[in-house]
């Protein structure tokens, strides 16, 4: 029986993987995609058909923004029926933000969209790019009865496939640059590719892909620290255009109980602005009410980010603000896992 190979679309957005050193300054800058492909002749040996598309001007992912998220989502949308899987080459600096954003944008996704990149350029002798790229393509090609096994937005780096919206970049030096502290990895690459099916999202195959492209970007991320200034916080929270706030709190969602602070939070909530309580800890969950230092936050109506990452909380807040959800239901919807981003 003739077997048909999966069709994979490789989307190159930029990042170290395709960079070269500027001969004058010595700084790494984006290079063109064709050069990158030439460096990996092994791609021809994979059991899939690969087509490629590149951003016209590849970027360092520190320049990432929602306009590029929309660009990526539109490439996937336009090619959705023709391809069985998508691999996004992306800088590691903001990869977790983009993977989170795309997970919310691509509702009813039933194909793999896997982000990867590298810590060293593909042309470097010790590069981690080859393994990352080749295995990501293999992960995206995994099928059962002609259907993709992975049907969500993932992030593959250094032998592990994670759920994209559960990841955080934790290291700028090690090849193992990402962690997913609140959710197990979805697959691992050793002698064999092991896929942990019990952890994969199970979308409804009958539902059609719906791509969301609106974001509310007038949000603030406030990380608490001992001695945080009242006047600075006042001016941020009283910003006219402000639409929502992510508050990075201590431990299980605790804050100072000083009156000025709680009054300010209350005034902001009364103005109808959602405030999301996300922990500063890399692992674990917000549990308002566990300590006295979070009981009042619960009473005031702060939204619990539970065990969401800050990256996913930002993407979710921007996405939900773009959906024009009523103030009444905002809290309930935010606290509901939409794409496996919280427990």
Rounded distance between C-alpha atoms, residue 173 and residue 92, angstroms:
11
Residue tagged active-site, from 13, 16, 116, 279: 16
Contact between 13 and ligand ASP by CB under 6 A: the answer reads: no
Residue by residue, what is the 3-state secondary structure of 223-285?
Answer: ECCCCCCHHHHHHHHCCCCCCEEEEEEECCCECCCCHHHHHHHHHHHHCCCCEEEEECCCCCC
Dihedral angle over CA of 45, 48, 54, 60, nearest 10:
-70
Contact between 335 and ligand ASP by CB under 6 A: the answer reads: no
* Angle at which helices 66-79 and 95-105 cross, to 10°: 50
- Residue pair 261/233 in contact (Cβ under 8 Å)? The answer is yes
Contact between 62 and ligand ASP by CB under 6 A: the answer reads: yes
- Residue pair 86/114 in contact (Cβ under 8 Å)? The answer is yes
Contact between 168 and ligand ASP by CB under 6 A: the answer reads: no
- One of 60, 176, 243, 335 touching ligand ASP (CB under 6 A): 60
Rounded distance between C-alpha atoms, residue 316 and residue 308, angstroms:
10
Query: Within its chain, how far is the Cα of 166 from the centroid?
Result: 7
Contact between 91 and ligand ASP by CB under 6 A: the answer reads: yes
Instruction: Name which of 35 and 238 has its Cβ closer to ligand ASP.
Output: 35
Residue 14 Cβ vs ligand ASP, minimum distance, rounded to whole Å: 6
Contact between 121 and ligand ASP by CB under 6 A: the answer reads: no
* Angle at which helices 310-322 and 327-334 cross, to 10°: 150
Rounded distance between C-alpha atoms, residue 26 and residue 233, angstroms:
40
Instruction: Name which of 122 and 321 has its Cβ closer to ligand ASP.
Output: 122
Residue nearest to ligand ASP (CB): 91
Contact between 93 and ligand ASP by CB under 6 A: the answer reads: yes
Residue 114 Cβ vs ligand ASP, minimum distance, rounded to whole Å: 16
Contact between 282 and ligand ASP by CB under 6 A: the answer reads: no
Active site residue 16: yes
Residue 173 Cβ vs ligand ASP, minimum distance, rounded to whole Å: 11
Contact between 165 and ligand ASP by CB under 6 A: the answer reads: no
- One of 50, 58, 69, 92 touching ligand ASP (CB under 6 A): 92
Binding site for ligand ASP (CB under 6 A): 14-16, 60-62, 91-93, 117, 119
- Catalytically active residues, by annotation: 16
């Amino acid at each position: 029986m003739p077997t048909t190979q999966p069709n994979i679309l490789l989307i190159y957005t930029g990042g170290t993987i395709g960079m070269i050193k500027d001969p004058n300054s010595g700084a790494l800058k984006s290079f063109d995609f064709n050069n990158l492909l030439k460096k990996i002749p092994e791609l021809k040996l994979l059991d899939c058909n690969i087509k490629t598309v590149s951003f016209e001007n590849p970027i360092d992912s520190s320049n990432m923004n929602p306009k590029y998220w929309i660009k990526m989502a539109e490439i996937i949308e336009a090619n959705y029926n023709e391809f069985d899987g998508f691999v996004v080459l992306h800088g590691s600096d903001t990869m977790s933000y983009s993977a989170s954003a795309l997970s919310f944008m691509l509702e009813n996704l039933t194909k793999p969209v896997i982000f990867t990149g590298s810590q060293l350029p593909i042309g470097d002798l010790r590069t981690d790019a080859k393994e990352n790229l080749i295995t990501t393509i293999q992960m995206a090609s995994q099928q059962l009865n002609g259907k993709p096994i992975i049907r969500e937005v993932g992030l593959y780096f250094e032998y592990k496939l994670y759920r994209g919206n559960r990841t955080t970049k934790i290291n700028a030096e090690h090849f193992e640059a990402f962690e997913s502290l609140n959710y197990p990895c979805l697959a691992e690459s050793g002698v064999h590719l092991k896929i942990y099916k019990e952890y994969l999202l199970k979308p409804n195959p009958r539902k059609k892909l719906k791509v969301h492209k609106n974001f509310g970007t007038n949000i603030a991320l406030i990380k608490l620290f001992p001695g945080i200034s009242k006047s600075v916080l006042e001016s941020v929270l009283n910003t006219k255009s402000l639409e929502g706030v992510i508050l990075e709190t201590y431990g299980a969602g605790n804050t100072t109980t000083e009156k000025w602070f709680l009054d300010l939070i209350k005034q902001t909530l009364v103005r109808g602005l959602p405030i999301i309580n996300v922990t500063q800890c890399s692992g674990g969950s917000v549990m308002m009410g566990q300590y006295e230092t979070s009981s009042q936050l619960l009473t005031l109506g702060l939204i619990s980010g539970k065990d969401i990452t800050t990256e996913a909380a930002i993407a979710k807040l921007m996405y939900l603000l773009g959906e024009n959800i009523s103030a009444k239901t905002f809290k309930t919807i935010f606290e509901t896992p939409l794409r496996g981003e919280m427990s």
